[in-house]
Amino acid sequence: MLLNGASDPILCRSFPTFLNRAALFWFSNLPASSIASFDEFADLFVNNFAASKIYVRDSDYLSTITQGQHKSLKDYMTRFAKAAMEISDLNPEVHLHALKSGLRLGKFHKAIVVTKPKTLAKFRDKAIGQIEIEELREARRLEKLLPRRDDDKQGRTNNL
């Protein structure tokens, strides 16, 4: 309509036909004769619904994702993969750099610095090995805790 040179009154009257749900409700509650031009109407609309805009993330967003002091590597890799999937045409080198940069300092980080994996596949291979180690350690830690609780229960029943 803009290309065909439609006037403000035509634009203002036709625009609401493209609205639904919240936008139509918002439009219906505007005071009668409160808008002087289509430009004013468009500004009001954009200002009211700016927070609803779908933001497309770029590769810079990946630098905000970090492992966290007490988070597992598996958790970090999962969160990072989810964020990376939202970025179209992500350069694999940028992906790898951001992934390595978000690691918390520690043994795995040092191993990555030393081995310098050049591809995502090589990094993932190293990460999978580390995740298996972390999960094994966690399983052993839980094993040590469970028998103690059982021993406590047996001790209580024997004393009764």
- Asked whether residue 150 carries a pLDDT value surpassing 70, the answer given is no
DSSP output for 66-125: ---TT--HHHHHHHHHHHHHTSTT--HHHHHHHHHHTSPSSHHHHHHHHH---SHHHHHH
Both 109 and 146 in one domain: the answer is yes
Listed range (7-11, 30-34, 73-77) with the worst mean pLDDT: 7-11
Domain count, the chain: 2
According to the model, what pLDDT value does residue 27 have? 78
pLDDT one-digit tens code per residue, 21-55: 777 787 788 888 777 777 887 788 788 777 666 66
According to the model, what pLDDT value does residue 3 have? 42
Is 88 domain-assigned? yes
Is 1 domain-assigned? no
Both 87 and 42 in one domain: the answer is no
pTM: 0.58
Task: Give residue 12's domain range.
Answer: 8-52
Rounded average pLDDT over 102-117: 95
